[in-house]
Amino acid sequence: MNLRSQVHEEITYTANIRGMLADAEGFKQAALSLRRFAAKVLATNVTTSPLLRLFLSKSGYDLTKASGGLIGMSNSLGSSDGSLALHLSAVHLGLKLPRDYSDEFLRQIETRMAGRPS
């Protein structure tokens, strides 16, 4: 199984069990797994030849965005502010995976988050 498929499997699993992760160990394991995949995606981007990086970029892949989304997901597992959806969308876009959320829904989350006090 390639890295893209593994990431897709992990984010699907993690995004759908987050409400059931009541114990601290479950959260910790999920966050560590997402961070490990973020490191792998970023390492792939860094160690890939410039020609392949150019091809991936021209094909619509953004491994840096995907890696950042995975880190963001790991930090947002317990949140209920919608940030998890934003990070998940970044992974989907960066790896050209099927998207779970519409642009309109994501804009609503961004608008709501921009209006909340820091």
- 9 pLDDT above the threshold of 90: yes
Query: What's the whole-number average pLDDT of the chain?
Result: 90
pLDDT exceeds cutoff 90 at 22: no
Q: How far apart are CA 26 and CA 31, in angstroms?
A: 9
Query: Looking at residue 29, what is its pLDDT?
Result: 87
Note whether 56 and 48 are within 8 A (CB): yes
Say if residue 54 is exposed, middle or buried (CB neighbours under 10 Å; 0-12, 13-18, 19+). Answer: exposed
Please report, for the chain, the start and end positions of each structural domain, with discontinuous segments joined by +. Answer: 3-115
Section 32-52 average pLDDT: 96
Residue-wise pLDDT for 58-76, tens only, equals 999 999 999 999 999 999 9
